[in-house]
Amino acid sequence: MTSAVPSDDSTSTTQADITAEIEEIEAAYQRSGVEETQPRRDYPPYRSTALRHPTKDLHHADPETIERWAPCFGTRDVDPLEADLTIQSTGEPIGERTVVIGRVVDGEGRPVRHQLVEIWQANAGGRYIHKRDQHPAPLDPNFTGVGRCLTDSDGVYRFQTIKPGPYPWRNHHNAWRPAHIHFSLFGTDFTQRMVTQMYFPGDPLFALDPIYQSVTDAKARERLVATYDHGLTSHEWALGYRWDIVLTGSSRTYMEPEDDASDRGDA
C-alpha cells in the first residue's frame, strides 16, 4: 500500500458522479481511435492521482549506484513455505481457500525464471493488517496477507491464500474496491520492478471502480482479471485461478495505480 490523500469533496461526490466521469473518459478514448499503451497516471475519477502522478521532468539515476546497494534474491533467501499464506500462524485463516498459479513470461513467451514474486492483500473481511486501515471489519489473527516465492525453471509461480474481500475506501461516497491481490515482480535487476493488481472474474464492482477503470483500454483491463481453472481446484480444499503475467510486448500485463488504507473513509 502507498500513501494517498483523497480530495476534500470525497463525501459529497456520489458513485453516479464517478461513473459519469468514467463513461465520459471511456467515450473520449473510443472516439480518439488511438490505443493507449500505458495506464493513465492522471485519472480524475481516481481522486488521489492528482497528487500522485509526476508533474515535473524525471531525473536520471545511475543504475550501477542503485544496484550496488540493492538487495539480491536467490533460492536461499525465499523459503517455499512463504508462498502459502494459510499456514503462517497456529490456526486456519477464515475465508475461501484459493490457489493462484501462473507463468511469468516476456513478450516472446519465454519464461522469466527464478524471479521474485511478492503478493499482499486484504483478508476475507476486506481488512489489511496495517495501522492506517481502520475499516470496521475484523482482523484475522491467522492471516498476515503477505507472501512471496520465486518462479521456477518454466517461469511458474504458485500461491495458496484466502480470497480477499471487497472493502470501502475514501475516493467518494459509498466507494468500494473489487476483491484483488497486489503483485510485485522483480526483473533481472533490482531497478526493474512491476507492481500491479490481480482481480477475480465476474466482480460486480468492476464498472464502478476508478482504479480498475483507470486502465482505459478494455482488453488491457481484461488482462488484469484471473481465470477460474477447475483443473487447479483441489477436491474439498481450494478453488483454483490462473493468472499469467506478460512483462513486455503488446499483450503485457499493465501496471496499475494502487489504493491504500489512507483512502479509507475512517482512516
135 annotated active-site: no
264 annotated active-site: no
Q: Please name the helix (run of DSSP H) or strand (run of DSSP E) that holds residue 8, with its range, or none.
A: none
Rounded to whole angstroms, how far apart are CA atoms 179 and 198? 9
- In the set 167, 199, 212, 241, the catalytic residue is 167
The distance of Cα 196 from the centroid of its chain, to the nearest Å, equals 4
**CB of 262 closer than 8 Å to CB of 3:** yes
- In the set 148, 170, 180, 221, the catalytic residue is 180
**Which pLDDT does position 52 carry in this prediction?**
77
Rounded to whole angstroms, how far apart are CA atoms 12 and 173? 6
Lowest mean pLDDT across 66-75, 185-194, 236-245: 66-75
**Which pLDDT does position 173 carry in this prediction?**
95
C-alpha cell, 98: 484459493
**CB of 220 closer than 8 Å to CB of 199:** no
- In the set 177, 221, 223, 264, the catalytic residue is 177
pTM, to two decimals: 0.87
* The one-letter amino acid at 147: G
Residue 242 has pLDDT above 70, yes or no: yes
Query: Ranked by mean pLDDT, which of 26-40, 54-68, 157-171, 238-252 comes out on top?
Result: 157-171
Positive/negative CA dihedral, 34, 38, 42, 44: positive
Rounded to whole angstroms, how far apart are CA atoms 161 and 183? 13
Q: Please name the helix (run of DSSP H) or strand (run of DSSP E) that holds residue 42, with its range, or none.
A: none
167 annotated active-site: yes
235 annotated active-site: no
Positive/negative CA dihedral, 251, 200, 166, 162: negative
**Which pLDDT does position 41 carry in this prediction?**
84
- In the set 47, 135, 182, 223, the catalytic residue is 182
**Which pLDDT does position 166 carry in this prediction?**
97
254 annotated active-site: no
Strand partners, 167: 177
- pLDDT digit string (tens) for 137-173? 999 999 999 999 999 999 999 999 999 999 999 999 9
Three-class SS string for 100-125?
EEEEEECCCCCECCCCEEEEECCCCC
H-type helices in the chain, by residue range?
15-32, 49-52, 63-69, 210-213, 218-222
